[in-house]
């Protein structure tokens, strides 16, 4: 590359990532971490050759159609790409990449945290301590559920799902899963395959959701499927909020259809999250921090940069999705 291509970076990235980006490119940074609206994003894109966004920026078909012709790529700082209309990008000739693999461990850790937090009533306990409401110990106080030895169901046995399965085995959990296709025996490592979501839900104690948001999975976990789970079940979601129907889950948690939930992702996040979640004691809530470790965020940035370097060298990027 002779003249350095200009890269529009839509959010504040780790310093190490921004420094590495500047070695090969001319970055347009966002030091105040301001969330750009569509019009401002399009205005800034007039000066760029590619965009390095996060899942917080929405690239609808209309937005992509309005991108300047000089924009060659959208190199996402995320593994999920449901915020980008991939078909519209293909039609405009804009390359789209993501950052898979590098966040599997961090997201799996959060899935386990959510399981434990929901099962052991961590939100309630933390509030009691902060509000100085702990008055006594008794055998009936703050009794939760163990996950050790339970049946862990994984909806979407991809990279993250397989790491969660490994972590679950460390708790002596029996692994069940549903995927579009069964894994080979080495990948499955003894996990029990179910050919339908309903079969999976009927045979587990904890559900951990790891499928991407798409037309096929939007609202997949609804009232009908929640009713298949038993009343002591726990639901965990670290994938995308769109996979779960919020009204159905809130109703199920209120009525005892299932026992508890641990959530890191939401429909309408961050401003329009279903208010029912905040009112429930049996929900353990986190603010979409599945990949929020120093190691993972750096690795995501480096992966996005590698994709950009390949694109501007005229090579195929390793993580192309459109």
CATH number of residue 241's parent domain: 3.40.50.720
- 279 shares its domain with 164: yes
- Cβ atoms of 206 and 150 closer than 8 Å: yes
The span from the CA of 209 to the CA of 243, in Å, is: 8
Q: Which residues neighbour 218 within 8 Å (Cβ) at sequence distance 6 or greater?
A: 242, 243
**pLDDT recorded at residue 2:** 58
319 assigned to some structural domain: no
74 assigned to some structural domain: yes
**Are β-strands 192-193 and 174-178 bridged in parallel, bridged antiparallel, or unpaired?**
parallel
1 assigned to some structural domain: no
Find, among 153, 165, 142, 265, the residue nearest to 206 by Cα.
153
- 87 shares its domain with 119: no
322 assigned to some structural domain: no
- 64 shares its domain with 79: yes
Catalytic residue among 198, 218, 269, 320: 269
User: Would you state the structure tokens that stand for residue 40, as one six-digit string?
Assistant: 């401002």
- 77 shares its domain with 32: yes
pLDDT by residue for the chain (322 residues), tens digit each?
458 999 999 999 999 999 999 999 999 999 999 999 999 999 999 999 999 999 999 999 999 999 999 999 999 999 999 999 999 999 999 999 999 999 999 999 999 999 999 999 999 999 999 999 999 999 999 999 999 999 999 999 999 999 999 999 999 999 999 999 999 999 999 999 999 999 999 999 999 999 999 999 999 999 999 999 999 999 999 999 999 999 999 999 999 999 999 999 999 999 999 999 999 999 999 999 999 999 999 999 999 999 999 999 999 999 999 9
- Cβ atoms of 210 and 239 closer than 8 Å: yes
- 56 shares its domain with 134: no
317 assigned to some structural domain: no
- Cβ atoms of 50 and 75 closer than 8 Å: yes
Map residue 20 onto helix, strand or coil.
helix
How many residues can be counted in the chain? 322
Catalytic residue among 194, 210, 240, 274: 240
- 81 shares its domain with 159: no
User: Would you state the structure tokens that stand for residue 143, as one six-digit string?
Assistant: 């009794």
280 assigned to some structural domain: yes
Q: Say what the pTM is.
A: 0.94
269 catalytic? Reply is yes
- 65 shares its domain with 210: no
46 catalytic? Reply is no
pLDDT, tens digit (0-9, with 9 covering 90-100), for 45-59? 999 999 999 999 999
- 130 shares its domain with 257: yes
Q: How many domains are there within the chain? A: 2
- 168 shares its domain with 204: yes
318 assigned to some structural domain: no
- 123 shares its domain with 86: no
The span from the CA of 285 to the CA of 290, in Å, is: 12
Find, among 253, 254, 251, 216, the residue nearest to 235 by Cα.
253
Domain that holds residue 215: 104-285
Catalytic residue among 55, 120, 178, 288: 288
- 214 shares its domain with 136: yes
- Cβ atoms of 27 and 44 closer than 8 Å: no
228 assigned to some structural domain: yes
- 62 shares its domain with 127: no
């Amino acid at each position: 590359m002779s003249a350095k291509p200009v890269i529009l970076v839509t959010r504040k990235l780790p310093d190490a990532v921004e420094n590495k980006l500047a070695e090969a490119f001319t970055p347009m940074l966002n030091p105040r971490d301001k969330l750009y609206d569509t019009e401002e994003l399009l205005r800034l894109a007039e000066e760029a050759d590619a965009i390095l966004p996060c899942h917080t920026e929405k690239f609808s078909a209309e937005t992509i159609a309005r991108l300047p012709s000089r924009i060659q790529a959208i190199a996402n700082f995320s593994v999920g790409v449901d915020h980008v209309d991939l078909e519209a990008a293909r039609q405009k000739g804009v390359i789209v990449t993501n950052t898979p693999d590098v966040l599997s461990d961090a997201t799996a850790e959060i899935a386990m945290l959510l399981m434990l937090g929901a099962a052991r009533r961590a939100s309630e306990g933390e509030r009691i301590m902060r509000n100085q409401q702990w008055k006594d110990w008794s055998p009936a106080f703050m009794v939760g559920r163990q996950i050790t030895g339970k049946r862990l169901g994984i909806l979407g046995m991809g990279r993250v799902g397989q790491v969660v399965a490994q972590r679950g085995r460390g708790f002596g959990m029996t692994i069940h899963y549903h995927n579009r296709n069964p894994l080979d025996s080495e990948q499955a490592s003894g996990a029990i395959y179910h050919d339908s979501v309903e079969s999976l839900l009927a045979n587990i104690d904890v559900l951990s959701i790891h499928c991407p948001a798409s037309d096929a999975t939007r609202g997949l976990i609804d009232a009908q499927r929640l009713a298949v789970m038993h009343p002591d079940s726990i639901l965990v979601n670290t994938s995308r909020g769109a996979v779960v129907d919020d009204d159905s889950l809130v109703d199920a948690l209120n009525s005892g259809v299932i026992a508890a939930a641990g959530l890191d992702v939401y429909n309408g996040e961050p401003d329009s999250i279903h208010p029912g979640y905040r009112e429930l004691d049996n929900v353990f809530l986190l603010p979409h921090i599945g990949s929020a470790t120093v190691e993972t965020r750096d690795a995501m940035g480096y992966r996005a940069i590698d994709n950009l370097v390949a694109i501007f060298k005229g090579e195929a990027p390793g993580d192309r999705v459109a």
